[in-house]
């Protein structure tokens, strides 16, 4: 029996993870669940999966949850202390990190330091603290298994190959809902337009990130940390049908790719059972019906969020944290209709240009950089 915890169990990745667990109840046991404020859904999940502990970030919601599950033998926790207690739970073997944003940094580091394998969806953590997380994982002998579809595809394409024979990682991108549009057309785009992704159904923040191509920028950094390659070895390729999930080119010119329907349950299940492949109730990819698989170069002039990610990673140190934190803030302002679509990359670029890089930031300095970025944006009166 594999014992897992899920941070972000009420979200898009969290609920899909639980859908898979439902099919493998005699093999996977959920020992802990955590979410932000959704007490009603977390109660349902607790009643169905019977974890020993559950946490909500918001205190009032945690209080409400405690009342709701008074009849059950489950410990209800709250806030960062709650996430950290779950991350360190003794009988948990693996933690699915499916919270959204940098809030995942501390619990993920805590889980690794307690020897838990990480099934990583929460890319923001790797982007901002990859330099702390990856060495710690190596030291503790912990596996970081990618859940993100592109990284799962790369991971699968690396099976049995020698790492020093990788020439290039070809990270595919759908291009998002605004592919093919120019700056002038993007100016008036509203949250409702950006939330209409052509191929994937995901949480709100990552859907906006897909529209700006910031998601791909974060994924470039995620790939660099996960696969220990240089930035020049990562190339982004637009693949509008989202069928080729990513590829690896080797020294001899061979390119190995992973293909599949765009469904996150596939990479989640692969990470849960790695290195095994279990059956999945899903239609086969029908190559007769699939009329075409096309590729394009990304338009980094229009979608500056992607170009800025390469700059942030090249600058290194605390700069990726600025890139990420500015984006998190900007996306939340955009979703509240307080800034325009094009102000998202503009705010990221502005914060980056004002930041003095800390070369090797420790955890405290990363969190301080996050605060500095938020204050810098607030200082502009937005
Ligand atoms: P969602 O917004 O759907 O879900 C976020 C989850 O995190 C919810 O359970 C939410 O709880 C919880 N949460 C939010 N804030 C806190 C907090 N402070 N403390 C504890 N829990 C919190 O996001 P997604 O599932 O779309 O994305 C999760 C992560 O996975 C992101 O990093 C994203 O980039 C990555 N990812 C997502 C993919 C997808 O298909 N969705 C694909 C690849 C990567 P509540 O419901 O109570 O607010
Ligand atoms: Mg992805």
Residue 168 β-bridge partners: 249
Radius of gyration of the chain (CA): 20
Cis peptide preceding 275, ω within 30 of 0 = yes
Report the pLDDT value the prediction gives residue 118, as an integer from 0 to 100.
98
Task: Report the first-to-last Cα separation within the chain, whole angstroms.
Answer: 50
User: What are the tokens at 365?
Assistant: 């300095």
Report the pLDDT value the prediction gives residue 200, as an integer from 0 to 100.
84
C-beta of 11 in contact with ligand 1 (< 6 A): yes
Cα(207) to ligand 1 centroid in Å equals: 11
Cα(126) to ligand 2 centroid in Å equals: 13
CB 218 within 8 A of CB 121: no
- Ligand 1 atom at minimal distance to the Cα of residue 103: 18
Cα(254) to ligand 1 centroid in Å equals: 36
CA distance 15 to 121: 13
Report the pLDDT value the prediction gives residue 197, as an integer from 0 to 100.
84
- Ligand 1 atom at minimal distance to the Cα of residue 121: 30
Q: Which residue's CA is the nearest one to ligand 1's atom 15?
A: 36
- Ligand 1 atom at minimal distance to the Cα of residue 202: 41
Ligand closest to 151 (CA) is 2
C-beta of 125 in contact with ligand 1 (< 6 A): no
CA distance 227 to 155: 8
C-beta of 264 in contact with ligand 1 (< 6 A): yes
Residue 75 β-bridge partners: 53
Q: Which residue's CA is the nearest one to ligand 1's atom 32?
A: 122
Cα(339) to ligand 1 centroid in Å equals: 22
Cα(91) to ligand 1 centroid in Å equals: 24
38-78 pLDDT per residue, tens? 999 999 999 999 999 999 999 999 999 999 999 999 999 99
108-156 pLDDT per residue, tens? 999 999 999 999 999 999 999 999 999 999 999 999 999 999 999 999 9
CA distance 273 to 250: 26
Q: CA angle, 275 as apex, 274 and 277 as ends, to 5°? A: 80
CA distance 198 to 313: 28
Per the document, the length of the chain is 382
Rounded to two decimals, the pTM is 0.98
DSSP H or E run through 75: strand 75-78
Cα(65) to ligand 2 centroid in Å equals: 32
Q: CA angle, 125 as apex, 122 and 126 as ends, to 5°? A: 100
Ligand closest to 8 (CA) is 1
C-beta of 121 in contact with ligand 1 (< 6 A): yes
C-beta of 103 in contact with ligand 1 (< 6 A): yes
Sign of CA dihedral 268, 18, 84, 209: positive
Give every residue of the chain whose pLDDT is below 50, as ranges: none
Tell which one of 7, 13, 86, 332 to mutate to probe ligand 1, the residue whose CB is within 8 A of the most ligand atoms: 13
Cα(307) to ligand 1 centroid in Å equals: 25
């Amino acid at each position: 029996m594999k014992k897992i915890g899920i941070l972000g169990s009420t979200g898009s990745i969290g609920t899909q993870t639980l859908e898979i667990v439902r099919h493998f109840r005699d093999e996977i046991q959920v020992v802990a669940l955590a979410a932000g404020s959704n007490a009603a859904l977390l109660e349902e999940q607790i009643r169905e999966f019977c974890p020993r502990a559950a946490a909500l970030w918001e205190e009032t919601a945690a209080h409400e949850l405690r009342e709701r599950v008074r009849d059950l033998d489950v410990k209800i926790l709250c806030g960062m202390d709650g996430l950290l207690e779950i991350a360190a739970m003794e009988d948990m073997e693996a933690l699915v990190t499916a919270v959204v944003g940098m809030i995942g940094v501390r619990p993920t580091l805590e889980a690794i330091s307690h020897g838990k394998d990480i099934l990583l969806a929460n890319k923001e953590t790797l982007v901002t603290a990859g330099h702390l997380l990856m060495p710690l994982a190596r030291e503790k002998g912990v596996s970081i298994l990618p859940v993100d579809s592109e990284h799962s595809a790369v991971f699968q394409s690396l099976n049995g190959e020698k790492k020093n024979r990788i020439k290039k990682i070809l990270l595919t991108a759908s291009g998002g809902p605004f592919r093919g549009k120019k700056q002038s057309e993007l100016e008036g785009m509203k949250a409702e337009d950006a939330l209409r992704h052509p191929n994937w159904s995901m949480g709100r923040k990552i859907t906006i990130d897909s529209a700006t191509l910031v998601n791909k920028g974060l994924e470039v950094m995620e790939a660099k940390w996960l696969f220990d390659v240089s930035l020049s070895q990562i190339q982004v390729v637009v693949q509008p049908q989202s069928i080729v999930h990513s590829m690896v080119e080797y020294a001899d010119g061979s390119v190995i790719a992973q293909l599949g329907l765009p469904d996150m349950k596939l990479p989640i299940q692969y990470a849960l059972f790695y290195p095994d492949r279990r059956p999945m109730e899903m239609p086969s990819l029908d190559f007769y019906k699939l009329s075409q698989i096309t590729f394009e170069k990304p338009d980094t002039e229009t979608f500056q969020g992607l170009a800025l990610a390469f700059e942030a990673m090249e600058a290194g140190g605390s700069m990726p944290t600025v890139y990420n934190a500015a984006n998190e803030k900007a996306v939340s302002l955009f979703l509240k209709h307080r800034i325009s679509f094009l102000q998202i990359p503009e705010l990221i670029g502005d914060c980056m240009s004002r930041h003095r890089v800390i070369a090797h930031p420790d955890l405290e300095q990363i969190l301080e950089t996050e605060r500095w970025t938020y204050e810098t944006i607030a200082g502009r009166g937005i």
